[in-house]
Amino acid sequence: MQAFNAVPSLPVYRTDEIRRIESSAQGAGFSDLMERAGLAAAELARALASDTRKPVLVLAGPGNNGGDAFVVARHLKQWWHRVVLVHAGERARLSADAAAAFDAWGAAGGQTLSELPTALGSYALIVDGLFGIGLERSLSGRYAELVASVNASGVPTLALDVPSGLHSNSGRMLGCAVRARYTITFIALKPGLLTLDGPDCCGELHVSDLDLDVASLLAPPGMTIGSAILRTVLPARARNSHKGTFGSVGIVGGATGMSGAALLAARAAINLGSGRVYVGFLAKDPLSVDALQPELMLRAVEEVLGMDALSCLVLGPGLSHSAGAKRCVDRALGLEVPLVVDADALNLIGANAELQHLCSVRSAPTVMTPHPAEAARLSGKSTAEIQDDRIGAALWLADRYRAVIALKGVGTVVATPDGHYGINTSGNPGMASAGMGDVLSGVLGALIAQGAPAVTATCAAVCLHGLAADRCRQQVGGPVGITASEVTVAAREILNSAIYSSTEPN
């Protein structure tokens, strides 16, 4: 069994929240945040630019991100690095703090260029200080050309706070964005670094809190979903246990031609610890046994929906959009059982106001796991609008449906009706494969059936799902061809290693 790496959760703040923290810190006497940020970035840059025979290129923009870059350049120069600084702005238009940093750079003997030098490939490191968290408009003209030159240079790039051109709240590229190998972000993580295009742009993430007690200045509304949650999602099993101890999961779906989706969810549920798993098929001629997982109990859909002893019901894998499927959703929404809603069930709810109402007034816990297109149908928006503000979209859905929402995608967002959210950081492109969502719903159903609260189970499931895919990627040497079935097996291994220590398990 591989050792389990328990990674803690970290606070996440959007731009307006970072501004409030900065304001509070300044009011408490912290007037040197730019100096602190520049020093922290300079120390990292010094470690990254270990080949001192090559110069470091520092790009300073027209705002406070440029001020951070001036401080970085000054420290590197004082540490005997050769530094070339390009300022893509005007001294007269800088803020007071950024202007002071510009002047300090000049006082230290630094020279400032207004255009990129030639032969960018000759530099040890490029420091991107063009734009930070305040950018709202798309980059064009000279700034877009600078970004294109940096990306084409082949030189490792260190971005300050966020890669230039990346929207710090949403993670979308504003026309274009720097593809950094490293990013050092200040005060705390921002959502845009963790979701949508953020992970592709920011590279290896470093966080400097600038010696602030950030959580005391503003309680974080968002957190990353660290793998440490897997240590607490379920207790170690007592020897005096039986299958009834670990709950019963019902899977409802599997219309004609789509039995595989329901089976993938069911196999995930049984492999992740459910005591019993029942599969209710909507197909007229359902399977009588799953040859690969004969432990599953296969039934007609009406039989599963009529069971009184279910601990959790997973609704939607392979359900279809038929009238019979709609009746299944209608009936399931009225059951007093924790409900995981996925796939076609989400689409049916999104298309029907009555089903939407039934979902929003449920008293038992509800978890919904839409991908962006499904989230768009549930909200009446476009997929692009969902992706433009994944955090806001997930929070809106959680409030609208009084449900825990797992908005899938790069940096899956888990949102709760009370306005809190988590962002998952595990996973890889190999998860862009058929059946992955079905496995997630089965894992989630298993955790809820074994007693995990809906929010905890959802956060743990999306984290575990991604970690399992990461292990598969490691085992096969890349993300190509990873299957949902492989992820199920890896998830079981990781959950066991998280719950049980290296000593003999309970």
What average pLDDT score do residues 325-342 get?
97
Domain 228-499: give its CATH code: 3.40.1190.20
Measured distance CA(367)–CA(440) in Å, rounded: 12
pLDDT digits (tens, 9 = 90+) for 140-197: 999 999 999 999 999 999 999 999 999 999 999 999 999 999 999 999 999 999 999 9
Check residue 504 and give its pLDDT. 42
432 vs 52, higher pLDDT: 432
What mean pLDDT value characterizes the chain? 95
pTM of the shown model: 0.94
Closest to 180 in 3D by CA, of 19, 365, 41, 319:
41
Q: State which H helix or E strand residue 185 sits in.
A: strand 182-186
What average pLDDT score do residues 120-134 get?
95
Strands lying side by side in the sheet with 297-300? 11-12, 222-225, 421-424, 413-415, 404-407, 366-368, 339-341, 312-315, 248-253, 276-281, 297-300
φ and ψ at residue 378, rounded to 5 degrees: -70, -25
Please say whether the dihedral angle defined by the alpha carbons of residues 190, 193, 195 and 198, taken in this order, is positive or negative. Answer: positive
Check residue 284 and give its pLDDT. 83
Measured distance CA(90)–CA(426) in Å, rounded: 41
pLDDT digits (tens, 9 = 90+) for 214-255: 999 999 999 999 999 999 999 999 999 999 999 999 999 999
Does residue 487 have a pLDDT over 60? Answer: yes
**Distances in whole angstroms, Cα of residue 194 to Cα of each of 69, 166, 209, 411, 483:** 23, 11, 17, 6, 24
Domain spans of the chain, in order of start: 11-220, 228-499
The architecture in CATH of the region 11-220 reads: 3-Layer(aba) Sandwich (3.40)
Two structure tokens written together for 240: 């005096």
Measured distance CA(412)–CA(273) in Å, rounded: 23
Same fold, 11-220 and 228-499: no
**Residue 324, burial from CB neighbour count under 10 angstroms (0-12, 13-18, 19+):** middle
Please spell the DSSP secondary structure of 240-293, one letter per residue: S--GGGG-EEEEEE--TT-HHHHHHHHHHHHHTT-SEEEEEE-SSS--S--TT-
